[in-house]
Structure 1
Amino acid sequence: MIMKAELFNFKCWINASDSEELREKLASFLTQSEFEILGFIDHQFSPQGYTCLWLLAESHLAVHTYPEHNKSYIELTSCVEGKLEAFKTCLESSFTIV
């Protein structure tokens, strides 16, 4: 089977910046959307801020928090549009996109 080379991208700002909440919820959303998680890495900045990245079989999800504004930037890239749309639905049901 030949796979068509396509990438789909979803990026947004949300009104949340708690690193633990984001890590737990976003990992759950990836699982619910049937993404295959290959790896995870994160970094807590001092005095504030957090960045994390999930490596997916379908591409990646990156998160960057800005606690001073209580906002986070979310970017998901996927080669499977249906999974991306399912993730987007999960995200929109739990967070306000700003």
Structure 2
Amino acid sequence: MVVSVAEFKASLSEGSPAPSLEPPLAGLWWVARGDWDRAHRMVQDERTAEAAWVHAYLHRVEGDLGNAGYWYRQAGQPVATGALDAEWERIAVALLAA
């Protein structure tokens, strides 16, 4: 089980995410590995605020800010405007602490 951001980041050297990861964290894992499509598949059908937050981030990465805004609202999160890597870290910290 991943318990810290450092361990989560270290797991990026593995071939796949830990099977125990919930879809939002698995989505963050896949996007960090450069597989946006797989990350999107992990969260697109999930109906949790956490999945919506990752979904918003993914559409921001994609450059689709209108769609990202919709998903930020679904997540109950403010629309992010800072650096993408900082947002990734913020989401990871929040999800790992939950």
Do Structure 1 and Structure 2 share a fold, with TM-score over 0.5? no
Counting strand residues as a fraction of each chain, which structure ranks higher? 1
TM-score, normalised by the number of residues in structure 2: 0.28
Larger Rg: 1
Counting helix residues as a fraction of each chain, which structure ranks higher? 2
